[in-house]
Structure 1
Amino acid sequence: MTSTSPISTSPLTEPAGGARRYDEFLPLEEDDVFLADAVSEAELPALLAALALVNADPGLLVDEVTPPIPPMDSTIAPQGGLSAEAQQHARRLAVGALARFRDRGSVPVGEPGPELLATIMRFLTKGAGEEYLPLLRHELGLPHDYGAPTWRKDAIAPTVPFTVAIIGAGISGMAAAYRLQQAGVEHIVFEKNAEVGGTWWENIYPGCRLDTPNFAYSYSFAQKPDWPQQFSRQQQIEDYLCDVATGFGLRPRIRFGTEVTEARYDDHDQMWTLTTRTGDGTSSRHRVNAVVTAVGQLNLPNIPDIPGRDSFGGRWFHSSRWDPTVDLTGLRVAVVGTGASAYQIAPSIADHVAHLSVFQRNAPWMLPTPGYHRDIPPGMQWLLRHVPYYGRWYRFWQFWLAAEGRLPFVEADPEWTRDDSTSANNAELRRQLLEHLRAQVGDRPDLLEKMTPRYPPGAKRMTRDNGVWAATLKMPHVDLVTDGIDAVTPEGIRTSDGTLHEVDLIVYATGFRASDYLEPIVVTGREGQDLHEFWNGDARAHLGVTVTGFPNLFMLMGPNTGVVVNGSSLFMAECAAEYTVECIGELLRSRKKVMEPSRQAMDEFCAEVDRGNERRAWGVATVSTWYRNRYGRASQVWPFSLQEYYRRTREPDLAALRLSGELEGAR
């Protein structure tokens, strides 16, 4: 390959400036032998989709290579379940289509019509019905950005002043900022950290990476095609978010190093006042029409209140506050917890420490993911850089495979009587996961006993497993401790059996206070109502976004919007951001100053979600989990499909919302 000049994707509707470079590709000049080698490492269904688009050739999508997409259980069927014979047929079709594209000068045939796009989407989704097409078009983003607002303020309310404050510049805050920018609505973003990224800026512990397939964990409006891995590392995600902030022009409106300490609603003028504090202690106030909170669910460290915790003579910190200056070489280290962060930390540090003690309360269920740490194969990387929109179709493919995900396998059958599972499907998932576990530690009955969960799969977040966890726990200098922790002493950790585990460093990989939404910000709504007192530890919101008594307060990643066995949090954040912008558009069109849900609408929504959660493994199991708050209510998790949340967040439900006040400005 000698030419490296990118080719523009001009046949399709021109994307926004920041998105344009994500849809640039390199010209294809290699011979057929090279193409065949590259295709041998490709994800075939998405490649055929991309080639059908650039060649305008639906004839590639024949029945023989249509992916059957068997239900997801403990694993995802490779290549959508295509047989070996079907894969060979698909590769022959792909190589021929690549050669035709090459011989035409690496130029797509032309702008695709809706019929061709719908045909390709049905090929990848096994014939999804018409009701799914709006969602699918949104995720593909061709021929244009379907999540963009269909209005602009200068067209519907040019003389009406309206300003929005966004709290947080993580994945959800940046989504809101971009959608407001597209709508031409004045906004300001307050970010307490020195850079964008939120959790991906804060969590720098060893081994930190995604446990959601990477292509699906990217914005629909900024689809990066060249991720180096399927489950990217922290720095790669942070770099992507920084790139989006710069390329999409978001930085000028972000005030870094500025923490919001209080948000207060004024009943008289129906405005919000935000109090902020910078690193040097300077306090400021800001008057805005609406507030969008984008602080996430997993941002407040949960540090267990263990007797004697502060008496420890060595170093200790939470995993999300990792101190990179600490040299672990030769230290005796304790990792408290066996959730997602511990699962990544322990294998990453085991080779460097003198001794590692892992303290476990509940063993995690492990999903077999052999490629968890692998790079994307070179041939597929090449195709992603050279085939227009292959990255988009691959993202679309990953999204669809996870749209329902393992929801059928975490159902709770009310007639089911076993304690270790919640339904026949759940029992089958448990059987497969146990088989995977036994294959790794069957030679160590002591570890098998400790590592076998006593609760149904799906009741807690499951971890991605490529074998490194079991391999780490088998190391001679690593102990898996399952006795409860009684106290921390100056020398280490004392467990309930009386053993003192002497350590030099304690890492609390104990998760986050997920149910303590918006803390420690003081939020005061109508008639002086304190939001945290109103919730009293049981956060509730209509669609997870708006709360009765708190007009023009919009929450992204709010109560009951977390997804744990299907989709990604980024999808839910985009949906909530787009819903918020549509609500603001409704206010501007109607010249109303504020909106909030009726108490009846909020209560009915929460009751519906509660009924849904009660039909899931996390709703009926008794194991401790961050999915539920201190009352036992699953206040964090969305129990339904992604399609259902997408449908509900397309436009404001005016029957559920109360609009009041009059915006200033001529009509």
Structure 2
Amino acid sequence: MPNGSIPSMEQPSSFEHPRLSRPIYDARRLKVIVIGAGCSGLLIAYKLQRSFENFELVLYDKNEDLGGTWLENKYPGVACDVPAHTYTWSFEPKDDWSSVYAGAKEIHGYFKNIATKYDLEKYIKYNRRVTKAEWNNYKGQWEVQVADPDGNTVDDSCHILISAVGLLNFWKWPEIEGLHDYKGTLLHTAKWDTSVDLSGKHVGLIGNGSSAIQILPAIAPAVSKVTSFVRSPTWVSPVQPQEQHMFSKEELNKFATDPEAHLQYRKALETGFSALWPIFLKDSEMQKTTAVGMTQMMKDKLNNKKLEDLLIPSWGVGCRRITPGVGYLETMGSDKVEVVYGSIQKITERGVVGGDGLEHPVDVLICATGFDTSLVPRFPIIGLDGKDLREEWKVEPESYFGIATHGFPNYFMIGGPNSPVGNGPVLVALEAQVDYILKLANRWQTENIHYVQPSFDAVKEFVEHRNAFMKKTVWSQNCRSWYKNNSADGNVTILWTGSTLHYLEATAEPRYEDWDFKYSGNRFAYLGNGYSQTETDPESDWAFYIRNKDDGPYLSRAKHLRSINRTGKAIQPTAPENGVKLLG
């Protein structure tokens, strides 16, 4: 039998598994296909390359370059909505960010440099779009169809398939009557035409989410007027410590020459994010005091009583994603901007009939209306028993910890349903997902596992827990949010049921009892020929376990965690507000 091939689930009685002639935990050939070469896809490539041997990896990306959203989004003012020094991988700092909220081009450069540093582009095939993936249970592999720019289809296959397409990469036009009857220049922030000159133009801007908040102050100096169409209020963070500024030469020099000072700065930012978690608990004191404080700060920035009544929400801070409004509120209150509140009735050839029932003619109409966040795949993903993930998730997506779902063996996701993408620091949570997936990949490679998937009961009970927990949070309040697939009162299908630190602890060790493992042959065939891996390497230390002191990891969660986070204190036996246990 060729190396790396997988025997059928049905074995004749005389079959001798090939692993029986190899030492324990022999690493068979592993092939992984990743859909997407954005930041998550690159992280998988880096970690697989760093930790694994005897593997093959392909990243298929629809674009001509890596970077995902940071390559695609080119609208004026596009930037990260968290401080740039927190938008790096935990192990790969960047000490020369130009400003607190770095622009897309600079962020793209960061990930491009990582790919170059670790030679990751060798795994990427650009201008390739995955059009179908189907699980072949007999062979124990995914059969993947990939289209090139000319429409030709190439067949590929892999043992493990990973979706790293990102949450905000499938832009769409708003469903507004008459949109494409408009005779002026029609733009979408996610599909920006950089050749369009807005100078002196009367611009209509639909939306007040993150992209609208960034684009308005960026275009205001050049245009003659902006008519901003706002359907509902939103919290805009004008918190002083996070105000935008360009780093000074002194600051940049400090970061570059004093790694410890830079590390402490990064840690302070991360700690600040994690400290925000109680805001999302709707009855917490932090939620109440933050709402009062942000209300006053928004009033101070707007300096306009009419706009205060229209734009400051009545629902809790964080029900929709909190966005740092660098210059947004001041611009909204300026003479250059007219705010039209309420749902748009229709689009005409000349402009927009707003919530006030009047037609507002504009030269350019910008749709800052976001993305499809349903998480439903855009191509067939066929799992066991012919199940199509598009149909399974048509009503509501369900996952296990945002990583996998039942019925789709050896299929994993980065940022799947109920991932911690709005609960605190983001990239470290995605790192945790990649680590978790690769732990399962390691088991597949070193045991005779046919496939692995979360159990039906585990997924269902996690969803039950999610729905019950979310009732305690501001996300469940009556605000329209992409956390709830752009609904006002649906289930929270995007976010995790706790803080980012909570997620790191929840995923630190896989709960293998929540997973279904199917084996080829006897599950103990991986024990092999009786030899250890140590004995196959004559240069290894065959007495590695002999030591002068016990320097091994602690075997209880509590002491092991303290050895990592270095608190040096015991876990508090009593719970503070809302019953949440905190580390002392």
- Same fold judged by TM-score > 0.5? yes
Structure 2 residue 480 is matched with structure 1 residue 624: yes
> For residues 380 and 155 of structure 1, do their structure 2 counterparts lie closer, same or farther at Cα, with a shift above 3 Å needed?
farther
1:539 to 390, 393, 397: 397
Asked if the contact 1:160–1:666 (Cα under 8 Å) also holds between the matched residues in 2, the reply is: no
Taking the aligned partners of 1:317 and 1:550, their CA distance within structure 2 comes to 38
2:374 to 515, 519, 523: 515
Taking the aligned partners of 2:37 and 2:389, their CA distance within structure 1 comes to 22
**1:12 — aligned with what?**
none
Q: Per-residue deviation at 1:276?
A: 0.8
Taking the aligned partners of 1:533 and 1:476, their CA distance within structure 2 comes to 49
Asked if the contact 1:493–1:500 (Cα under 8 Å) also holds between the matched residues in 2, the reply is: yes
Q: Per-residue deviation at 1:156?
A: 7.1
Q: Per-residue deviation at 1:253?
A: 0.6
2:412 to 537, 554, 557: 554
Asked if the contact 2:232–2:342 (Cα under 8 Å) also holds between the matched residues in 1, the reply is: no
Q: Per-residue deviation at 1:543?
A: 1.3
Asked if the contact 1:264–1:524 (Cα under 8 Å) also holds between the matched residues in 2, the reply is: yes
Asked if the contact 1:226–1:391 (Cα under 8 Å) also holds between the matched residues in 2, the reply is: no
Secondary structure at the aligned position of 1:215 is classed as: helix
Taking the aligned partners of 1:411 and 1:498, their CA distance within structure 2 comes to 38
1:576 to 430, 433, 439: 433
Structure 2 residue 60 is matched with structure 1 residue 195: no
**2:461 — aligned with what?**
604
Structure 2 residue 261 is matched with structure 1 residue 425: no
> 1:334-349 counterparts in 2 under 5 A?
334-349=204-219
Structure 2 residue 192 is matched with structure 1 residue 322: yes
Structure 2 residue 347 is matched with structure 1 residue 479: no
Taking the aligned partners of 2:273 and 2:387, their CA distance within structure 1 comes to 40
1:563 to 413, 421, 431: 421
Asked if the contact 2:423–2:498 (Cα under 8 Å) also holds between the matched residues in 1, the reply is: no
Per-residue Cα deviation, 1:579-621 (whole angstroms, up to 9, x for no partner): 11100011122221210011111112222222222211011x1
Q: Per-residue deviation at 1:155?
A: 9.6
> 1:245-644 counterparts in 2 under 5 A?
245-370=115-240, 371-403=242-274, 405-413=275-283, 423-442=284-303, 444-466=304-326, 468-517=327-376, 519-568=377-426, 570-619=427-476, 621-629=477-485, 632-644=490-502
> What fraction of aligned residue pairs are identical, expressed as a percent?
28
Asked if the contact 1:335–1:356 (Cα under 8 Å) also holds between the matched residues in 2, the reply is: yes
Taking the aligned partners of 1:321 and 1:232, their CA distance within structure 2 comes to 20
Asked if the contact 2:282–2:316 (Cα under 8 Å) also holds between the matched residues in 1, the reply is: no
Secondary structure at the aligned position of 1:481 is classed as: strand
**1:164 — aligned with what?**
32
Asked if the contact 2:32–2:159 (Cα under 8 Å) also holds between the matched residues in 1, the reply is: yes
2:46 to 178, 184, 193: 178
Secondary structure at the aligned position of 1:237 is classed as: helix
Structure 2 residue 529 is matched with structure 1 residue 662: no
Taking the aligned partners of 1:372 and 1:603, their CA distance within structure 2 comes to 42
> For residues 589 and 650 of structure 1, do their structure 2 counterparts lie closer, same or farther at Cα, with a shift above 3 Å needed?
farther
Asked if the contact 2:237–2:325 (Cα under 8 Å) also holds between the matched residues in 1, the reply is: yes
Asked if the contact 1:171–1:573 (Cα under 8 Å) also holds between the matched residues in 2, the reply is: no
Q: Per-residue deviation at 1:243?
A: 0.3
> For residues 572 and 537 of structure 1, do their structure 2 counterparts lie closer, same or farther at Cα, with a shift above 3 Å needed?
farther
> 1:188-267 counterparts in 2 under 5 A?
188-267=58-137
TM-score by length of 1: 0.72
| Residue identity in the other structure for 1:399 | E
TM-score by length of 2: 0.82
Asked if the contact 1:557–1:572 (Cα under 8 Å) also holds between the matched residues in 2, the reply is: no
Asked if the contact 1:156–1:588 (Cα under 8 Å) also holds between the matched residues in 2, the reply is: no
> 1:127-146 counterparts in 2 under 5 A?
none
Taking the aligned partners of 2:491 and 2:437, their CA distance within structure 1 comes to 26
> 1:115-134 counterparts in 2 under 5 A?
none
Taking the aligned partners of 2:246 and 2:200, their CA distance within structure 1 comes to 30
**1:86 — aligned with what?**
none
Asked if the contact 1:546–1:554 (Cα under 8 Å) also holds between the matched residues in 2, the reply is: yes
Asked if the contact 2:24–2:526 (Cα under 8 Å) also holds between the matched residues in 1, the reply is: no
Q: Per-residue deviation at 1:392?
A: 2.9
Structure 1 unpaired stretches of 5+: 1-153, 414-422
Taking the aligned partners of 1:580 and 1:156, their CA distance within structure 2 comes to 22
Taking the aligned partners of 1:500 and 1:273, their CA distance within structure 2 comes to 52
* Greater mean deviation of Cα atoms: 335-344 or 369-378: 369-378
> For residues 496 and 368 of structure 1, do their structure 2 counterparts lie closer, same or farther at Cα, with a shift above 3 Å needed?
closer
Per-residue Cα deviation, 1:284-334 (whole angstroms, up to 9, x for no partner): 110110101001111111422111111111121321111101111122211
| Residue identity in the other structure for 2:516 | R
| Residue identity in the other structure for 2:245 | R
Asked if the contact 1:579–1:650 (Cα under 8 Å) also holds between the matched residues in 2, the reply is: yes
| Residue identity in the other structure for 2:474 | A
| Residue identity in the other structure for 2:152 | T
| Residue identity in the other structure for 1:430 | A
Asked if the contact 1:210–1:231 (Cα under 8 Å) also holds between the matched residues in 2, the reply is: yes
Taking the aligned partners of 1:389 and 1:440, their CA distance within structure 2 comes to 36
Asked if the contact 1:538–1:635 (Cα under 8 Å) also holds between the matched residues in 2, the reply is: yes
Taking the aligned partners of 1:156 and 1:292, their CA distance within structure 2 comes to 27
Q: Per-residue deviation at 1:447?
A: 2.1
| Residue identity in the other structure for 1:436 | M
**1:44 — aligned with what?**
none
Asked if the contact 1:267–1:527 (Cα under 8 Å) also holds between the matched residues in 2, the reply is: no
Structure 2 unpaired stretches of 5+: 1-21, 529-584
Q: Per-residue deviation at 1:527?
A: 1.1
Taking the aligned partners of 1:164 and 1:441, their CA distance within structure 2 comes to 51
**2:536 — aligned with what?**
none
Taking the aligned partners of 1:171 and 1:614, their CA distance within structure 2 comes to 32
Secondary structure at the aligned position of 2:86 is classed as: coil
Asked if the contact 1:180–1:186 (Cα under 8 Å) also holds between the matched residues in 2, the reply is: no
> For residues 488 and 429 of structure 1, do their structure 2 counterparts lie closer, same or farther at Cα, with a shift above 3 Å needed?
same
Taking the aligned partners of 2:492 and 2:24, their CA distance within structure 1 comes to 40
Taking the aligned partners of 1:616 and 1:665, their CA distance within structure 2 comes to 46
Per-residue Cα deviation, 1:205-263 (whole angstroms, up to 9, x for no partner): 11011111211210123222222222211111000010001111100010011111111
| Residue identity in the other structure for 2:47 | R
**Equivalences, count:** 499
Asked if the contact 1:369–1:465 (Cα under 8 Å) also holds between the matched residues in 2, the reply is: no
Taking the aligned partners of 1:446 and 1:263, their CA distance within structure 2 comes to 53
Secondary structure at the aligned position of 1:490 is classed as: coil
**2:545 — aligned with what?**
none
